[in-house]
Chains A and B, each alone.
Chain A
Amino acid sequence: ILNVEQSPQSLHVQEGDSTNFTCSFPSSNFYALHWYRWETAKSPEALFVMTLNGDEKKKGRISATLNTKEGYSYLYIKGSQPEDSATYLCAFEVPGGDMRFGAGTRLTVKP
Chain B
Amino acid sequence: EADIYQTPRYLVIGTGKKITLECSQTMGHDKMYWYQQDPGMELHLIHYSYGVNSTEKGDLSSESTVSRIRTEHFPLTLESARPSHTSQYLCASSEFDRGRDGYTFGSGTRLTVV
Contacts and interface: CB of A to CB of B under 8 A. Distances in A.
Contacts, number: 53
Interface string B1-39: 010100000000000000000000000000101010000
Interface residues of B, number: 26
A25 to B, nearest CB: 12
Interface string B84-110: 000000100010101111111111100
The B contact surface, by secondary structure, is loop
Interface in A13-59: 31-32, 34, 36, 41-46, 49, 51
A56 B104 CA distance: 22
A31 B98 contact: yes
A43 B106 contact: yes
B106 A4 contact: no
Given A89-B43, A103-B42, A41 B107 contact: yes
Contact of A98 (B45, B90, B100): B45
Contacts of B99: 32, 49, 51
Contacts of A4: 42
A48 to B, nearest CB: 9
B102 A99 contact: yes
Contacts of B108: 43
B98 A91 contact: no
Interface string A75-95: 000000000000001010100
Contact of A97 (B4, B43, B94): B94
Interface in B46-62: 48, 59
Interface of A: 1, 4, 9, 31-32, 34, 36, 41-46, 49, 51, 89, 91, 93, 97-99, 101-104
